[in-house]
Amino acid sequence: MVVDNFAGGGGASEGIEQALGRPVDLAINHDVTAIAVHTANHPGSEHAVADVWDIDPEQAVHGMPVGLAWFSPDCRHHSKAKGGRPVSKSVRVLAWVMSRWAAKAKFRAGVLENVEEFLDWGPLVKGADGKCRPDPARKGQTFRGFVRALNRHGYQVDWRILRACDYGAPTIRKRLFLIARRDGLPIVWPKPTHGDPESLAVKRGLLKPWRQAAECIDWSVPCPSIFDRKKPLAAATLDRIASGVMRFVVQADDPFIAPVQPSTQDQSSKVAAFVAKHYTGVIGDDLRKPLPTITATDHNGLVTVSLTPAAQVSGKKPALVAAFLAPYYSTGSGETGRDLHKPLPTVTTTDRFQLVTVTIDGESYAITDIGTRMFQPHELAKAQGFPDRYQFAEIDGKPLAKRHQVRLIGNSVCPPLARAIVEANFTHERRFMATAERAAA
Euclidean distance between CA atoms 434 and 319, whole angstroms: 66
Give the mean model confidence (pLDDT) for residues 83-87.
Answer: 59
Give the mean model confidence (pLDDT) for residues 83-101.
Answer: 79
Euclidean distance between CA atoms 297 and 407, whole angstroms: 6
What per-residue confidence (pLDDT) applies to 313? 82
Q: Which residue has the higher pLDDT, 90 or 366?
A: 366
User: For residue 122, how many other CB atoms are within 10 A of its CB?
Assistant: 19
Q: Encode pLDDT of 1-27 as tens digits.
A: 999 999 999 999 999 999 999 999 999
Give the mean model confidence (pLDDT) for residues 233-256.
Answer: 91
Give the mean model confidence (pLDDT) for residues 306-331.
Answer: 80
- Strands (DSSP E) found in 229-299: 270-277, 284-285
Among 192, 184, 234, smallest CA distance to 209 is for 192
| Residues labelled as active-site residues | 75
What per-residue confidence (pLDDT) applies to 328? 72
Cα dihedral sign, 70-430-43-404: positive
Q: Domains of the chain, with CATH numbers?
A: 2-208+388-440 (3.40.50.150), 219-375 (no CATH)
DSSP-assigned letter for residue 376: P
Query: Could you tell me what percent of the chain has a pLDDT over 70?
Result: 86
Q: Encode pLDDT of 335-389 as tens digits.
A: 444 454 555 555 444 444 467 889 898 899 999 999 999 999 999 999 999 999 9
Euclidean distance between CA atoms 250 and 350, whole angstroms: 17
Q: Encode pLDDT of 112-169 as tens digits.
A: 999 999 999 998 888 888 888 888 899 999 999 999 999 999 999 999 999 999 999 9
pTM of this structure: 0.89
Euclidean distance between CA atoms 75 and 169, whole angstroms: 20
Backbone angle region of 263, left / alpha / beta, with phi > 0 → left and psi within -120 to 50 → alpha: beta
